[in-house]
Structure 1
Amino acid sequence: MSKTIVYKFGGASVKDADAMKNLLDILRNRLRKNMVIVVSAMGKTTNSLEEILRLKMEGEDFSSNYTILKEFHLSICHQLFPDSHRVFAVLDNLFTSMSKQLNAELSEDNYDEYYDSIIGFGELFSSTIVMEYLCENDLLVLWQDARELIKTNSDFRFAKIDWAKTRKNCQTKLKAKIENFPVVTQGFIGSDSQSRPTTLGREGSDFTAAILASCLKASSVTIWKDVPGVLNADPKKFSSYFLFEELDYKQAAEMTYYGASVIHPKTIMPLANARIPLFVKSFISPEDPGTKIHSTSSNSSISTYVLKEKQLLISFRVTDFTFIEEEQIHRVYEELKSLKLRVNMLQISAISISIVLDEQPFKLDRLLNRLKNDFEIRYNSNLELLTILHPEKSGMDSVMKDYEVFLEQQTRNTFQVVRRKNMLS
C-alpha cells in the first residue's frame, strides 16, 4: 500500500464562494504530496446541463439557461479572484467550447454520446476554479484532465472501465505528478479508445475516486459530504436517523445497490478488492470521525431506509391468454438494455411483468413503441420507491400510512414498496 490518499469533494462542497473558502480551510492543513483531489460539478450544475440538453432535444431555445449557468460560475469567481485573474479567460474558453458542441446535431439516436460530450463540462469548470483558487492562496496544486487517465469502452453514459489502460495511465501520467505536487482532477468523466468523452453514470465522481485509488494503490479514500457520514436514512427526507461509525464493504455495497445516495454503487468494489478503507466525512464538521467502510466482522442490523423519487412503474401484460415465460422476460430486458434503462425493482405474476425505473420521458416513449405489439402496457409516473433493509414490522406499517401503494414485495432482509402520497393526506 502506498502513502497516496484520495479526497473527493461533491457538488455541495463547492457550490458557492463560501463553500470554496471552507474547502480551502479543510485542505490548508491536510494538503500534501501524493494526494489526488477529485471534484464534482458545482452545486446543481449537472442538473442545469441536463435541462439544457432537454431543451435542445425538444428544439426549444436554451440560450438563457446557458447564460445563467455561465454567470453562476463567473459570479463565484468574482468573489474569489481579482478581476484580472487568468481563471476568467480559462472559463471563457471552456464555455466557448461547450457552446460550439451545443451547436452540433442532436437526435434520439445519438443522445447518449451527445450527453457525454456536454455533461462533463460541469466538472471541467469546477476543477479549474478549485485548482486556481488553491494556487491563489499559496497551496500549489496541478490540474489533470481525468479523460487522459480514465479509459473506458464506448457505452456512453454508463461507460465500463478499461482497467489495464487506466492503471497504466495512472502509473505513467499521474504518479510522477503527485510525487511532487497534489493534483486536482474531475470525477464522473473518462474517454473511449477514440478519445470521445464518456461518463461513468450519474453521481459517478465517487467511483472515479475509487478507480484512481485502486490504480495508485492508495492508503485511503475520503469522500466529503454535507452529512456527518453514512446514515440509515436521508436526513432531508426522514425526521430521525442513525450514524454508522463503521460498515463492512458488503453492507455498504448492499445499501448503494438499492440507491443509497451517499455513495455511488460502483465505488465499493475496487476499494474492497484492494482493501482500501473508505471514509465518509462531513465538510461542515471536518474534525468529526464520520464513517469508516472497511473489512470488518461488525454487521449492523439497524433498519436502513433508501428512498428513490421520480420513479416509473410499467406493467407488461400478455394479450393471448398465455402465461409469462422466459421468452417474454427476455424480450422486455432486451429492449431495456438497448435503451440503457436500469430496473430498480421487478415483479412477475402469471400474466404480467412489472418493472420500476427512473423516469426518462423520451426513452419511455421509445420503450413503449418497441413493445406495444407484444404486450398490453400500462404505466404510472411520479412515484417513490422505498427500500427498507433489515425491516421491522412497526417501520413497515408507518411507511404505508397516508400513501397509495402500487406494488410491494418482501424478502428475508428487504422490504420494498412503490408508493405515492395520497392527495387528501
Structure 2
Amino acid sequence: MTKAIVYKFGGASVKDASAIKNLHTVLLNRLQNKMVIVVSAMGKTTNSLEEILKCKFSGNDYYSNCAILRKNHLAVCSALFEEQNPVFSIVENLFLQLERDLEHPLNRENYDQYYDRIVSYGEILSSKIIHAYLCTMGLYCVWQDAKEIIATDESFRSAKIDWSLTAKQCAKQLGEKLKKFPVITQGFLGASPAGKWTTLGREGSDFSAAIIAHSIQAKSVTIWKDVPGVLNADPKRFADTVKFDRIDYKEAAEMTYYGASVIHPKTIKPLANLKIPLNVRSFLDPEGNGTIIGDFPEERHTIPTIVVKDRQVLVTFEVTDYTFINESHIHHVYAELERLRLGVNMLQTSAISISICVNEELFKVEQLLEEMGDSFKIRYNEGLQLLTVKNYDEASKEQFLGREGILVEQTTRSTIQLVCKPDV
C-alpha cells in the first residue's frame, strides 16, 4: 500500500490571498489522496493574537485589534470567493467564538492555558479558508481538526506529546479519509484527553507535520518555505548565503538546537527515528531542488553556519556565601527552569556564578528571578541576541569575536556562541 506524504505550509506561504492562490498552484500537480496538508496561521496572525492577549491582560481595549484581525481575514476571503460562499459565515462565527472566549477572566495563574485557547484561532481560521478555497478550485480535500488527532498533556504553551494515543487517533481519524481524499489540518495545535486546547510551542507547525508523519509512518515530509532550502545563514541578515543540498539528521538537529529558524527544533527526532526524509523547498520556486534531510552520516559540512536568536535574556546567578559553584547550585537552577518549562539556550559557569541565556517569555523569567532571589545575587539583561557560529573558520571567528556589545563569549572546538546587544 502506498504510504502517505505530509506537506506543511508556514505563515509566509499563506499570508494573504495571492499566497493562498500560489499554494493552490503548488498543489495543482502534486495533490494525491494519501496526503496530509498542515497549515499555519496566516502571516503575522499569531503575533496579532498575542497582542490582543497583552491588551486583555493589562486591561486595555482589545476589541479594535479583534476588529482589524477579522477585517483582514474577511478581506482575504473577498479576494478568493464569491459573496455567497459559506466561508464568510464560517469566519464570522469563529470570530464570535474568539470574542466570547476573550470575555473570560485572565490572570497570571491561567495565562498559559488562556494563551493556548486564544492563539489556536489563527490556525483554525487559515485552515478553514484554505480548505474552502481548494475545494472551490476543484482540489477536493477533507478538513480535519488537529485537536482530534494530536494528543498532549496539559503543559500549556509547550505541550508534551502522548505518542501512543496520537498514533491511535491518527489511525481512527485519518485512516479512511486518506483512502479517498487529501486531508488539511492545522499545525501547532493539540488537545489533552480532557479536551483542553494546547499548543506545541512557538513555530510548532513543523513539529506537527513530523508528529503526524511519525504516527502514520509517512513516506516523506515537505516543508514549504520562502527560502530555496536550508541555508548556512538567514539571507535577510547575511549576504552570500549557501544552500545545503543534503543534510544528515544529526547535523540538522544540531542546527535547530542552536536556533536555526528554518525548522522547529523538535521536528527532526520523530522523523529520524523512522528514517522519514524531510524536504525543505521554496513555495516561490516549487520546481527547485531544495534541501533533503535524511540518513546521510557521511554528509558533514564544514562551511560556517550562522544562527541568530533574538529576544534573549541573560541571567547571572552569583553565590553570596563565598563558596564556589558546584553541582548542587546548577541542579537548583535547572530544577526551577524545569518547573517553569524554560529552556536554556546557553550556559556558562565561573568560580562563583552561573550564567544562562533564555528566551523572553512573559511571566516565566520574572518567576525565575523571584524564586531564585533568596539563594543568589541575580543580574540580568533583556533584549539581547544569541549568535552561534557552527563550524567556524578564522574569517568568521575574526568577524564575530570582534563585534561590539558582547556580554558573554563561549568558544569550543567547532562552535562560537555570543550573547550580545542587537546588531542594529
| Same fold per superposition (TM over 0.5) | yes
The gaps in structure 2 that reach 5 residues or longer are none
Cα distance 1:339–1:60, how it changes in 2: closer, same or farther (>3 A)? farther
CA apart distance, 1:362: 3.0
CA–CA separation in structure 2 for the residues paired with 1:253 and 1:318: 34
The gaps in structure 1 that reach 5 residues or longer are none
Q: Deviations over 1:307-328 (max 9, x none)?
A: 0011111111111111112222
CA apart distance, 1:422: 7.2
Q: Deviations over 1:320-363 (max 9, x none)?
A: 11111222222222222222211111111111110101112433
CA–CA separation in structure 1 for the residues paired with 2:62 and 2:17: 26
CA–CA separation in structure 2 for the residues paired with 1:167 and 1:146: 13
Matches within 5 A, 1:330-341: 330-341=331-342
8 Å CA contact 1:2, 1:216 repeated in 2: no
2:413 matched to which residue of 1? Answer: 412
CA–CA separation in structure 2 for the residues paired with 1:410 and 1:56: 43
Q: Deviations over 1:81-131 (max 9, x none)?
A: 111110011111111111111111111111111111111110000000000
CA–CA separation in structure 1 for the residues paired with 2:364 and 2:3: 45
SS at match of 1:399: helix
Q: Deviations over 1:35-57 (max 9, x none)?
A: 11000000011111111111222
CA apart distance, 1:174: 0.5
Letter in 2 for 1:179: K
SS at match of 1:218: coil
1:43 matched to which residue of 2? Answer: 43
Cα distance 1:57–1:335, how it changes in 2: closer, same or farther (>3 A)? farther
Matches within 5 A, 1:127-142: 127-142=127-142
Letter in 2 for 1:345: M
Cα distance 1:421–1:181, how it changes in 2: closer, same or farther (>3 A)? closer
| Percentage identity across paired residues of the two chains | 54
CA–CA separation in structure 1 for the residues paired with 2:423 and 2:196: 46
Cα distance 1:118–1:421, how it changes in 2: closer, same or farther (>3 A)? closer
Matches within 5 A, 1:266-415: 266-296=266-296, 297-415=298-416
Matches within 5 A, 1:121-160: 121-160=121-160
1:251 matched to which residue of 2? Answer: 251
Matches within 5 A, 1:108-257: 108-257=108-257
Q: Deviations over 1:177-212 (max 9, x none)?
A: 011001100001000010100111111111111111
CA apart distance, 1:402: 4.0
CA–CA separation in structure 1 for the residues paired with 2:423 and 2:186: 42
Letter in 2 for 1:225: K
CA–CA separation in structure 2 for the residues paired with 1:375 and 1:331: 11
How many pairs align? 423
Letter in 1 for 2:345: N
In the TM superposition, structure 1's runs of 4+ consecutive aligned residues that sit over 3 Å from their partners are none
CA–CA separation in structure 1 for the residues paired with 2:250 and 2:376: 38
Q: Could you tell me the TM-score, scaled by structure 2's length?
A: 0.97
CA apart distance, 1:394: 1.5
